[in-house]
A and B are shown apart, each in its own frame.
Chain A
């Protein structure tokens, strides 16, 4: 057991960047989902304002934090593994990281388009609802990633 708990000091900062980025991106996407669900029940200008708020949260917090998470992951991977014989949990991380980033990117674009249409009085609620679904899937991906990173299935 003890070997799992000891790591060189030089790994700490990359790990910090990775975990902090992952926490912030999860928080940003979760907050966006909560605000977008609230927008479903709102009407008029309030609906547009909530959708705009979710868009800004994803754009200014979610996407930069995703990059911090991803850069931190690659940084610590380069220290810990050589590219051969990656354990399964590293593969799970890779399998989740890029798709979650694409989901966040598409959700950001949809909320932007939705907010623009709602502000103009046009129908944009459908786009915001689609963004909510994609962002919720991203949160589910993050939970799977947390499970893989902590239990490290081999």
Chain B
């Protein structure tokens, strides 16, 4: 059970990072004509990756006897997940508006904050401060 949950948790993380990569591609491309088709891939898969990371991560914290959902490093991870979720949603909404012909390209800062939160999540998962 542990191995399966870890696989799904990590696969979700790779999916999430890959979709952030697509958001960066949309930002770098800067061509509204590309954003609709790329967005059709990125928006649902970013959501799927985000949910998979959280659900299987919390499930793991219950499955592994040495972990608890209230451990400091897991609480930090949930906060970072919320940050990436908020800014990732902002990116999704911004690119949807842009593909629909309205609004401006989402800010560079939103890309940096979402990506920075995911990078810190990886640091937190590997070092597990306080565990």
Partners in one complex: yes
Binding site for B on A (CB under 8 A): 1-2, 4-5, 12, 15-16, 19-20, 22-24, 26-28, 30-31, 34-35, 38, 41, 46, 49-50, 53, 57, 61, 142-143, 146-147, 149-152
Asked whether A24 lies within 8 Å of B38 as measured between CB atoms, the reply is no
Q: Is the CB of B123 within 8 A of A16?
A: yes
Q: Is the interface of B mostly helix, strand, loop or mixed?
A: helix
Contact B126 A15 (CB under 8 A): yes
Tally of chain B residues near chain A (CB < 8 A): 33
- The reply to whether B7 and A31 form a contact with Cβ atoms under 8 Å apart is no
Inter-chain contact total with CB atoms closer than 8 Å: 83
List the one stretch of B16-24, B68-76, B92-100, B103-111 in contact with chain A: B16-24
Instruction: Assess the A27–B123 pair: CB atoms within 8 A.
Output: no
Chain B interface (Cβ within 8 Å of chain A)? 2-4, 6-7, 9-11, 13-14, 17-18, 20-22, 24-25, 28-29, 31, 33-34, 37-38, 41, 64-66, 119, 122-123, 126-127
7 contacting pairs across A/B (C-beta < 8 A): A12-B126, A16-B123, A22-B14, A23-B17, A49-B31, A61-B21, A149-B10
